Amino acid sequence: MRSEDKKRRSGKGSKHPASPLTPHPSPAKLILKSGREKSLKRRHPWVFSGAVANVRGEPGPGETVGVWSATGEFLAVAAYSPQSQITARVWAWEERAIDRAFFKERVARAVAQRRELLDGAATEACRLIHGESDGLPGVVADRYGDTIVLQLTSAGADRWREEIADALLEAAGISRVWERSDAEVRNLEGLPAATGPLRGDRQPTQIIVTENGLMFQLDLEHGHKTGFYLDQRENRLRVRRLARGGDVLDGFCYTGGFALNAAVGGARSVLALDSSAEALALAQANARLNDLSGVDWVGGDVFQMLRHLRDGRRQFDLIVLDPPKFAPTAAHVPKAARAYKDINLLAFKLLRPGGLLVTFSCSGGVSADLFQKIVAGSALDAGVAAQIIERLGPGPDHPTALNFPEGDYLKGLICRVARQ
């Protein structure tokens, strides 16, 4: 796959060089319909297909275009995605060349911010680039020890792969970049999957990272996202601190993130559930790696298993629910809302008085407000009184740019069931 990609990519740089002599990097222009410049003026970085009146020039996928209002006002420099509903993603708000120097600057800024935000131990496994919120639409880069995993999900990001990889090596001082551009959203951009080594020769098959003192083995080739859910780092630590002495249930445990933190935090018992055999195998390997033998790992469907536990009158002091994205977009929301309601209702029923529910939604389509309403409905139907004692989100290496509310995908609540 990698060599095919190379062929596909070859000639990319030569076709569209950004000359320092031309202030505007591309003759191609997107002209918006009248009045459709409003969101760009608020610096929202997406141009939807319905807002475009016409395309001047013949830009190819990922090429740089100028975005102009119907009245001839310059708005932004953006990457063109002819196949996507999001026709263009903004690189910059001023007229400037998009070239190697641009990526060097943006990538260096993002990497430097992580150094300031996180302590040394946490930066061993952290997100270095978080897409739009770091001014790099379609680019995600995660650092796992001496390897960076790069995921490119837009035509624009895909086009500048080599420049981004070089900028990452330079800014992070790391020699290996592994590509995991196999996210489904690439289909919407008309991009084939691209995975494999981008820089450095060794295949990073056995990567182990330490997060807050716990070791995790990662499967960078097949694991979810780029191999790990880095966005839950701080929340896993929070659970470690809440778990002492209690019976803990980790629904949707993946490779054991919350369950192992509960075990190391001194839980009396930990039951961890997941439907993926591969995830559970890795979770068990992670338990061995950390010499934590007390976790009960069970495969199956959480919806069914929660019902079973309820029928068996099992009780827990702390339940973590970190399900997959039930609603990637607004269209999935009604069905997703029922799913969230269902699992949270069952969890409330399984908690002892005074017990804690740590519940998450990573659905872009479900706002924090809606999620809270759903969880409130769950408590009501479960017949329990509960309070929110903490609101959770991703760590500081997953920032949300204020002009990009879509970036605010992960929300969590810690709810305490009233003591009787």
Residue type, 105: E
Nearest residue to ligand SAH on Cβ basis:
257
Q: Which region among 35-43, 68-76, 318-326, 399-407 touches ligand SAH (by CB under 6 A)? A: 318-326
Should residue 397 be labelled a site residue for ligand SAH when binding is judged by CB under 6 A? no
Nearer to ligand SAH, 25 or 246 (CB): 246
Q: Could you say which residues in the range 340-359 bind ligand SAH, by CB under 6 A?
A: none
CB of 398 to ligand SAH, least distance (A): 13
Between strands 247-251 and 64-68, the pairing is unpaired
Nearer to ligand SAH, 254 or 340 (CB): 254
Should residue 301 be labelled a site residue for ligand SAH when binding is judged by CB under 6 A? yes
CB of 212 to ligand SAH, least distance (A): 12
- Cβ atoms of residues 383 and 352 within 8 Å: no
Total number of residues shown for the chain: 420
Measured between alpha carbons, how far is 165 from 272 in angstroms, rounded to an integer?
37
**Residue 362 is among the residues annotated as catalytic for this protein:** yes
Nearer to ligand SAH, 209 or 279 (CB): 279
CB of 86 to ligand SAH, least distance (A): 26
CB of 227 to ligand SAH, least distance (A): 10
Should residue 409 be labelled a site residue for ligand SAH when binding is judged by CB under 6 A? no
CB of 271 to ligand SAH, least distance (A): 13
Number of residues that bind ligand SAH (CB under 6 A): 19
Should residue 35 be labelled a site residue for ligand SAH when binding is judged by CB under 6 A? no
Which of 63, 142, 322, 408: binder of ligand SAH (CB under 6 A)? 322
Whole-angstrom CA distances from 310 to 66, 321, 337, 349, 352 are: 58, 16, 21, 7, 12
Nearer to ligand SAH, 88 or 214 (CB): 214
Should residue 326 be labelled a site residue for ligand SAH when binding is judged by CB under 6 A? no
CB of 326 to ligand SAH, least distance (A): 9
Q: Could you say which residues in the range 184-243 bind ligand SAH, by CB under 6 A?
A: 229, 232, 236
Nearer to ligand SAH, 169 or 410 (CB): 410
Which of 167, 262, 302, 346: binder of ligand SAH (CB under 6 A)? 302
- Cβ atoms of residues 344 and 378 within 8 Å: yes
Nearer to ligand SAH, 166 or 234 (CB): 234
User: Active site residue: 126, 253, 362, 415, which one?
Assistant: 362
Nearer to ligand SAH, 129 or 279 (CB): 279
The contact pattern for ligand SAH, residues 241-280, with x = CB under 6 A and - = no contact, is -----------x-xx-xx--------------xxxx--x-
Report phi then psi at 206, rounded to 5. -115, 75
CB of 322 to ligand SAH, least distance (A): 4
> For binding to ligand SAH (CB under 6 A), which residues are involved?
229, 232, 236, 252, 254-255, 257-258, 273-276, 279, 301-303, 322-324
- Give the active site residues: 362
